[in-house]
Structure 1
Amino acid sequence: MVHRTRNHRHLFGDGDPTLVFGHGFGSDQSSWRTVAEAFAARHQVLLFDHVGFGGSDRLAHCDQRHSSLEGYALDLLDLLHDLPPRPIVYIGHSVGGVIGLLASLIEPARFGRLVLLNVSPHFIDEPGYRGGFARREVAGLLAQMDADYGAWVASLAPVAIGADNAPQHIEAFGLGLHALDPMIAARFARLAFYVDCRSRLTEVRCPTLILQSTQDSFAPVEVGDYLHRHIAGSTLRLLENSGHCPHITHPQLVIRALEALLSPPEDRPATGPRPAARVPQPQAS
């Protein structure tokens, strides 16, 4: 299938349900590798790159199809059509979570669960809503990207990863940004930073786990609360870490949260539901 190479598909592991990991802006499937490999002994795992990122076929970028996040959602559904017709668990980071959410609205039968990691339905502050950025800040961010891509990368990477996290993660994230085609990156960045899918949240019907970092400059805690209030039956878990990419900087936090979700019912602790359980950082041994 053409889309297997278009999206640089990697399918490995064995077991149900299949776990599909979607990356956010500025990274690729490698950002999920540590988390995904922790589940490959018990689950089939699908990793892929959005068109324009990682090892994807950048010539497959289509101005019409990829002018909206719905086009990327269709790419994801093409990949799912290669799998057995059983519901999958989709784990999406940031705008990758939005893409999965939109795909679940197009073909809900394909999705057994959604996991949204630091996902924002809208990054811009509005009356009665805190997205984390003033509209002028987003416009300035994108203008800097157009004017001086290298300086933009240097300023964005520490904020995305979290300046107090390991320098190698900041450096690797910056190198990933530098590797992008600037034209495709600029188009995708505008889709990501101007996204507004707030009106679609009430349409989500599959069980949804919201994983929200306690200190994230891109998606403040209020964003996780908003998703939780507007997605019926969702669960919110707070990850005690800084930065927008805990699957890169603190993968064990994400692994623990997913293990709690995927463990058989008899293995889960017999506790009542809580609106926002916390997943603390593992203590050093």
Structure 2
Amino acid sequence: MAGVIERNNVHVRGSGDRAMIFAHGFGCDQNMWRSVAPAFEKDFRTVLFDHVGAGGSDLSAYDRTKYSSLAGYAEDVVEIGRELELKDAVFVGHSVSSMIGVLAERKSEGMFGKLVLIGPSARYIDDDGYVGGFSAKQIEELLQFLESNHMGWSTQMAPAIMGNPDRPELGEELTNSFCRTGPEIAKAFARVTFTSDDRKDLPGVGVPTLVLQCSEDIIASQEVGDYVNRNITKSRMIVLKATGHCPNLSAPDEVVEAMRTFV
């Protein structure tokens, strides 16, 4: 386990017998939790980290083969948990990290006692009898745009993903975060994210789960949230008043309040 803490730029704060680990979404880093995590430091040890390739992680640890699927990122979460000797912890995942948490929970019996999934999607591409929100053609066009023009894609997509056009500073922050991610890693992680299919993994989740769904989200619609909620046995869903895909930035107080009802 040597180097896990440094590899993922892990920071532990707070107090309490239980831990709460926060996992950020695509194009982001642990700073995206700055208005949520401190609210839990009195009762939990809070664990923040960066996925390899993001934020202050060790970029030399990036392995294209390992991270060619979400399983590689889930493996890192489990390694962090083992290093910190986590038991019965609360995993909080935003966006793609929701499914990373689902995979990590299944790989590590007893490590996680509850999951909080914010804006989760088990599959972004529509399928027979399943609404993911995007056609395969739309996803491929989105990925090709990113691969040909990382900066242009970030500038155009980040404000749309963030929503809240009346608060342009939020879209600007997400744009800057997207742009800080190395283009090659961003391209690879985007393809892994938007082409993943984790529907089969949902029924195997064995711990109580809270799905936090934004009322208007172009990335993960309520149909997508409903699907995740229906297919995790011990799940319940709260639909937030918040709009956009990043309520941890746009409506942190509402996220904290919803989480408190569960943890």
Tell me which interval the TM-score lies in, with the shorter structure as reference length. Answer: over 0.9
Range moving further from structure 2, 148-157 or 81-90? 81-90
CA distance in structure 2 between the aligned counterparts of 1:233 and 1:96, rounded to whole angstroms: 19
User: Letter of the aligned partner of 1:245 in structure 2?
Assistant: C
CA drift at 1:2: 0.2
Q: Which has the higher contact order (CA 8 A, sep 6+)?
A: 2
Structure 2 residue identity aligned to 1:168:
E
Match of 1:77 in 2: 78
Cα distance change, pair 72–165 in 1 and its aligned pair in 2 (3 A):
farther
Map 1:258-269 to 2 at 5 A: 258-262=259-263
RMSD, aligned CA: 1.0
Question: Does the 8 Å CA contact 1:165/1:249 hold for their aligned counterparts?
Answer: no
Equivalents in 1 of 2:166, 2:186: separation in Å? 25
TM-score w.r.t. length of structure 2: 0.97
Partner of 1:282: none
Match of 2:51, SS state, is coil
Structure 2 Cα separation of the partners of residues 104 and 35 of structure 1: 22
Task: Report SS of the residue matched to 1:34.
Answer: coil
Deviation at 1:16, TM superposition (A): 3.0
Could you say what secondary structure the match of 1:116 adopts?
Answer: strand
Number of residue pairs matched by the alignment: 262
Deviation >3 Å, runs of 4+:
none
Aligned partner letter, 2:67: H
Q: Distance in 2 between matches of 1:141 and 1:150?
A: 13
Instruction: Answer whether contact 1:125 1:133 (CA < 8 A) is retained.
Output: yes
SS in 1 for 2:141: helix
**What does the per-residue CA deviation read over 1:222-252, in whole Å, with 9 as the maximum and x for residues that have no partner?**
0111011111021111011210000011001
Partner residue in 2 for 1:244 = 245
Provide, for residues 64-99 of structure 1, a one-character-per-residue CA deviation record: whole Å limited to 9, x for no partner: 211211111111111101223521000000111111
**Alignment partner, residue 160 of structure 1:** 161
Unmatched tracts of structure 2, length 5 or more: none
CA distance in 1, matches of 2:97, 2:147: 23
Separation in structure 2 between the aligned mates of residue 231 and residue 181 of structure 1, nearest angstrom: 34
**CA offset at residue 158 of structure 1?**
1.0
What letter corresponds to residue 41 of structure 1 in structure 2? K
Deviations 1:128-157 (A, max 9, x none): 111111111100000001111121111111
Paired residues for 1:133-144 under 5 Å: 133-144=134-145
For residue 9 of structure 2, what is the amino acid of its counterpart? H
Is there any run of 5+ residues in structure 1 with no aligned partner, and where?
263-285
Native 8 Å contact 1:87 1:112 kept in 2: yes
